Amino acid sequence: MTERLPLMAGNWKMNLNHLEAIQHTQKLAFALADKDYEAVEVAVLVPFTDLRSVQTLVFGDKLKIKYGSQDISQHDGGAYTGEVSGPMLAKLQCTYAVIGHSERRQYHGENEEIVNAKVKAAYRAGVTPILCIGEPLEIRKAGTHVEYTLAQLDGALEGVPADQAESIVVAYEPVWAIGTGEVATPEDAQEVCAAIRKRIAELYDAELADKVRVLYGGSVKSSSVAGLMAKPDIDGGLIGGASLDAEEFVKIVRYRE
């Protein structure tokens, strides 16, 4: 079995202007500097307007905080007012782009076709997608959450070749857990994360699936992270609200201590 490097990624959502981003990133860098944390990859996923601030602080830094955007255009350039392209993100040395977050699906009408086009756009630009999938409450109550989530995965990966898919990060984010304070139990999260890995093995092969990092997201806190990380198919967290509190986010990064 491949040793997968755990990833703790903070999704700032639409919070922190570019000056606040500098302060927050400096706090994180300072708090993480006093100990070796190379056993965990740390990333911040920030508003477009913050990317340059974060880049100037951390790029080339030995602290190696990675960063990325919360969305990406499906187009590479042209008359698409308001959009930000993959090549623009690549120029800012973004490692990641979040794609298909439930808030984008819910408020911006992103369907499987758009999510799939965005995954392909990210790969064209050399940016790694953090693909978000997960079921709403009514689907969980109906007991069809695994099928629902796997259908989102199938749609997002349609036509994506193995040499690209092997680097994807998949975040299982049940919608009912996002921003609600209601974290999934480690067992519930593991059930879906294991099913995601199994489906990736079916779509590609077991060796590739073994390399892919599957994160859990939804109200993760320092008090719940260790239980989730103890599960074999959970390779990290996508952290929303708690990533805005530097002290709490650092505790999450250091879940092993």
Binding-site positions for substrate: 11-13, 179, 219, 240-241
The answer to whether residues 190 and 233 touch, using CB atoms and an 8 Å cutoff, is: yes
Find the shortest distance in angstroms from Cβ 215 to ligand PEP: 9
Which C-beta is closer to ligand PEP: that of 95 or that of 208? 95
The answer to whether residues 114 and 154 touch, using CB atoms and an 8 Å cutoff, is: no
Please state, in angstroms and rounded to a whole number, the distance separating the CA atoms of residues 132 and 136.
Answer: 13
Which C-beta is closer to ligand PEP: that of 12 or that of 204? 12
Residues 41, 110, 135, 173: which is the catalytic one? 173
Residues 101, 103, 110, 135: which is the catalytic one? 101
Find the shortest distance in angstroms from Cβ 245 to ligand PEP: 11
Is residue 20 part of the annotated active site? The answer reads no
Find the shortest distance in angstroms from Cβ 10 to ligand PEP: 9
Which C-beta is closer to ligand PEP: that of 203 or that of 244? 244
**Taking Cα atoms as reference points, which of 141, 137, 134, 64 lies closest to residue 95?**
64
- Summarize as ranges the residues that interact with ligand PEP (CB under 6 A): 11, 13, 173, 178-179, 217-220, 238-242
Is residue 18 part of the annotated active site? The answer reads no
**Catalytic residue annotation:** 101, 173
